[in-house]
């Protein structure tokens, strides 16, 4: 065994590997820890390595040794907390776990934190897997992505939970679409609709469907619910070949207490903080990663790079950022620990984010990192050298809250809440925002998007079309959860498919057609995306017509690009000759309205010539028949 250890130290995990890992700088550590096909002394087999610094003994068990902890003991590598062993005649596709003997003598059976594949739940074993077989065909996409600036490009995201987007009537794996099956249908749908990206909930392996993938046990394993790692590569590859970016939800904030997972991995606090006042989330019943440990930060940062480099994903949406930044998040007075300066900021998590985002920017070839951060923490999307966290984008949760509160109101009361729609335009340059209407807003008795709208059935659809038009015009990238583009009535339920028949009903089909028109309009006119984060990209025409609940504003393009004038009526009252000021003389072409959709489809666009009638503080104006719940977009 000593000879084996010496040889492995010089061949597999080297002294340099250990140094980098123990100092949080081994960005390919997943190539060393975990299970890897190797040849040793002329024999093919599998090399296993795991970090378990408090263990008194570790072994690898599996279907290849009858799950016997005594048959394949692992050897500790000096001063590293890493254990290793080579097991001959073990190949890809075999089940395994680690048998971890704690300092008290108890034996724990743990899944591999670095496993590339895992059993279909409720089974919990890891599966040996070789990631090197897949041949990618998306080189053109990746090369082009590296040259693009995501801040000045169009980003319209379709948020999807694969297990409930669609299901098939079959018994295997409860009718889930496989990655391969979903790839083609989703790519066709997304291309037709005009979204630029897809964002996937819950791809990393997780034991409980009801967590939606936000309580992870296999950070390096695409969930086996939908297929193999190669099949997930095929999914991403297919999206890229169809011009669609792929964003994954990623959860570095916390992990569940399942016995086979990371919780007390070697019998003590290993991946989590030891003090429960820092190491447990009382709201969620989960463990909090210990960002003071280099090995834990290395595990997470290498994982982010793993998804970008091995699976070619275009971005990560980081879940629950606020819970990481604040030591008192979700905790009562006296149940949290202040930082060294007496504050509530988690200084270790702050440094983790700066490190993470710097490395993704450096190595990610244009991949983005998005913060789901629900507070007013400053400089989330500013660079670390400017005391920022370094994220590419931040979800605009404040806009989402105000927008939905306004849209839910009976139109009579909207004039008293006009500020809810204008407030977001006072701070849109403070961060690089994405406007989101996400899955979180259509669960837990919050109601689906269509059922948030006031009025009778047709009023609801009219309101939703109007609301989506305002969202399109508001500066910031866009995200919409699946089903809300055709008026899904039921709240989202991860156990059931969307009600796709609604997309064939007249009102649902009309809404879907309209959202498609909005998305194609968005991609056609750079004024809607290339000046998202500067004041010159937006100007009000009239922000103060609260009596009529009408908003009018302009999105400005760069240089000689076309600008777009938006006029939106949030009441059921028609305005036959609604006059709106315009910034210059000339022709204003109606390119889209809520009654007709996109005019260019049938070449019937109407042109309005400005009049020298001062209005809204402008020298010129146009008059337009604005319908009830009507919106119009003019190009000039």
CB neighbour list of residue 10: distance below 8 Å, 6 or more residues apart: none
Residue of 465, 426, 434, 435 whose CA lies nearest to 449:
465
Q: How far apart are CA 301 and CA 357, in angstroms?
A: 9
Taking the CA atoms of the chain, what radius of gyration do you get in angstroms?
Answer: 27
Q: Are 32 and 303 in contact (CB under 8 A)?
A: no
Other beta carbons within 10 angstroms of residue 423's beta carbon come to: 14
Active-site residue numbers?
A: 319, 372
Question: If DSSP codes are grouped into helix, strand and coil, which group holds residue 553?
Answer: strand
- From CA 522, how far away is CA 471, in angstroms rounded? 11
- Please give the Cα distance from 154 to 478 (Å, whole number): 9
Backbone angles phi, psi at 356, to 5 degrees: -55, -55
Are the beta carbons of 345 and 351 closer than 8 angstroms? no
Kindly state the tokens that stand for 385: 């050298």
Give the length of the chain: 636
Q: Which of 591, 570, 602, 603 is nearest to 636 (CA)?
A: 591
Six-digit token string for 197: 């990206």
- Choose among 419, 468, 445: nearest CA to 193: 468
Query: What gap in Å lies between CA 595 and CA 93, rounded to an integer?
Result: 56
- DSSP for 527-546 reads GGTTTTTSGGGEEEEEEEET
């Amino acid at each position: 065994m000593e000879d084996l250890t010496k040889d492995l130290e010089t061949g597999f995990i080297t002294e340099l590997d250990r140094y980098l890992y123990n100092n949080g700088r081994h960005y390919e550590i997943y190539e060393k820890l975990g299970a890897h096909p190797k040849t040793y002394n002329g024999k093919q087999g599998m090399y296993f390595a795991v970090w378990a610094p408090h263990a008194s003994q570790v072994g690898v068990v599996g279907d290849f040794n009858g799950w016997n902890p005594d048959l394949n003991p692992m050897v500790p590598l000096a001063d590293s907390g890493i254990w290793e062993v080579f097991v001959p005649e073990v190949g890809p596709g075999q089940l395994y776990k680690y048998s971890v003997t704690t300092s008290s003598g108890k034996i724990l059976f743990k899944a591999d934190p670095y496993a590339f594949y895992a059993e279909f739940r409720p089974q919990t074993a890891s599966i040996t897997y070789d990631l090197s077989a897949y041949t990618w065909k998306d080189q053109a996409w990746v090369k082009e992505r590296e040259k693009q600036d995501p801040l000045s490009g169009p980003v319209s995201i379709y948020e999807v939970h694969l297990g409930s987007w669609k299901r098939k009537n079959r018994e295997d794996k409860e009718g889930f679409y496989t990655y391969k099956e979903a790839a083609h249908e989703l790519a066709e749908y997304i291309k037709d609709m005009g979204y630029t990206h897809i964002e996937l909930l819950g791809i990393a392996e997780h034991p409980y469907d009801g967590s939606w993938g936000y309580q992870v046990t296999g950070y390096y394993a695409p969930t086996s619910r939908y297929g193999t790692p190669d099949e997930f590569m095929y999914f991403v590859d297919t999206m890229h070949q169809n011009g669609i970016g792929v964003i994954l939800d990623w959860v570095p904030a916390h992990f569940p207490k399942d016995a086979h997972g990371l919780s007390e991995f070697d019998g003590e606090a290993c991946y989590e903080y030891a003090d429960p006042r820092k190491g447990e989330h009382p709201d969620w019943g989960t463990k909090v990663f210990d960002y003071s440990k280099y090995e834990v930060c290395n595990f997470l940062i290498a994982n982010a790079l793993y998804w970008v480099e091995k699976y070619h994903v275009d971005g990560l949406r980081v879940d629950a950022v606020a819970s990481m930044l604040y030591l008192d998040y979700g905790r009562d007075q006296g149940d949290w620990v202040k930082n060294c300066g007496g504050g509530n900021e988690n200084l270790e998590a702050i440094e983790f984010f700066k490190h993470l985002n710097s490395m993704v920017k450096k190595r990610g070839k244009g991949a983005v990192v998005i913060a789901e951060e629900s507070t007013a923490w400053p400089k989330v999307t500013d660079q670390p050298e400017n005391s920022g966290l370094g994220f590419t984008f931040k979800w605009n949760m404040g806009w989402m809250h105000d927008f939905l509160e306004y849209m839910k109101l009976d139109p009579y009361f909207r004039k008293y809440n006009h500020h809810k729609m204008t407030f977001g335009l006072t701070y849109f340059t403070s961060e690089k925002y994405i406007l989101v209407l996400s899955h979180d807003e259509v669960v837990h008795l919050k109601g689906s998007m269509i059922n948030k709208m006031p009025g009778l059935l047709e009023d609801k659809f009219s309101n939703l079309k109007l609301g989506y038009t305002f969202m399109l015009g508001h500066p910031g990238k866009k995200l919409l959860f699946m089903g809300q583009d055709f008026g899904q009535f039921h709240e989202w339920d991860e156990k059931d498919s969307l009600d796709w028949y609604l997309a064939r009903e007249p009102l649902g089909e009309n809404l879907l057609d309209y959202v498609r028109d909005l998305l194609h309009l968005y991609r056609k006119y750079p004024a809607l995306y290339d000046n998202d984060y500067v004041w010159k990209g937006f100007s009000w025409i009239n922000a103060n017509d609260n009596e009529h609940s009408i908003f009018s504003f302009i999105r400005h393009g760069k240089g000689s690009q076309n600008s777009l004038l938006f006029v939106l009526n949030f009441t059921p009252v028609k305005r036959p000759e609604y006059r709106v000021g315009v910034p210059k003389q000339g022709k204003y072409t109606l390119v889209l309205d809520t009654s007709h959709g996109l005019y260019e489809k049938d070449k019937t666009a109407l042109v309005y010539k400005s009049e020298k009638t001062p209005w809204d503080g402008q020298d010129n104006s146009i008059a337009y028949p604005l319908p009830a719940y009507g919106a119009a977009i003019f190009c000039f």
